[in-house]
Amino acid sequence: MMHFNRREWLAGSAALAGLAAMPSLARAQAVAGLPEAMIHPELRAIARQFSGMMKNMPAWTRANLPELRKPFPFGDWRSLPSVPHERKVIPVGKPHPDVAIYVINAKPGTSRPAILHTHGGGYITGSAETSVRQMQELAVKLDCVIVTVEYRLAPETTYAGSIEDNYAGLKWLHANAASIGADPARIAVMGESAGGGHAAILALVARDRGEVPVCFQCLIYPMLDDRTGITRKVQPWVGRMVWTPEQNRFGWEAFLGAMPGGAKAPKYAVPARMADLKGLPPAFIGVGTLDLFCDEDIDYAQRLNNVGVPAELIVVPGAFHGFDGIALMAKAPLGTWFENVKLNALRRGFGIPAA
């Protein structure tokens, strides 16, 4: 998870690209306590380097949150001047403060698909601002408009606040579709990790409030179940890289404002605990076998399909949390392949022919 935005510290810049190409680093050894053979071949050298970086990360505590929220000094996250974007502040409604959103690739006078994006970060880190460049690149590939929400983070704000921030962004997108060149009938929700959790929550809230039609949900290794690694046991080889059971407990406790894994969970806060998934929009879910969220994501996809909600599930062997951003930065073919799978899923969700 470690999303100070998915790519802020998952990216290792050009150094990781060089590591991926060095045969001398391909020797068999343990990485993060795992036999290297369990890791996807294109991710092994990267995983070895990243494992060393993780050893220097501060402990995940409330006292360390200011340090944890600092962006990693890798990559270029400056916005692209060629793709328009604008920061707006919109009302959420009492008793909540206003929330900032970034409107990306607006083209008044057109009617294109739209995405409401929620960034990752374990519910406790990350920002929409540092997602802008990534969303600009996606908007160009899909010829769509994207709104990404600077929702309030936990523990300062629990699920009850951030859900309303994101829903306000969704409502604004729908109400202002004409002015930004969006088709109000083709709005998808999308997010990575905790952002995938927020996107799943938005789909549920939108279904029940009946104000905004959502046509698709794109959930990239979504964080869906507060019980994982706590009362829901996982295999010893998952959650060893990037996002661990200990970090997961911390993130969920901050988000819920209570100990996770209990007998009950607040409505909407934990998508995996929602009893009724009927009537949700079609979904795409992608996750790796070494990701802490693998089992919960597979279960969620199966539950969607079992109630008649079409859900495409991609499980990538030997991939850990955030693998796609790392692989793209290192120019590994796996990153490009997964990106194309995701893009085609979104195209199908929008009713556009797959590339």
Point out the residues that are catalytic. Answer: 193, 291, 321
Nearest to 275 by CA among 286, 288, 264, 285: 264
What is the b/e burial string over 173-206, where b = at least 16 CB atoms within 10 angstroms of the residue's CB?
bbebbeebbbbeebbbbbbbbbbbbbbbbbbbbb
Q: Tokens at residue 199, please?
A: 């996107």
Q: Tokens at residue 187, please?
A: 């709005």
* Cβ(153)–Cβ(162) below 8 Å: yes
3-state class (DSSP) for residue 187: strand
Amino acid letter, 348: R
* Cβ(325)–Cβ(7) below 8 Å: yes
CA distances in angstroms from 26 to 29, 36, 39, 209, 352, listed in the order given: 9, 9, 11, 52, 41
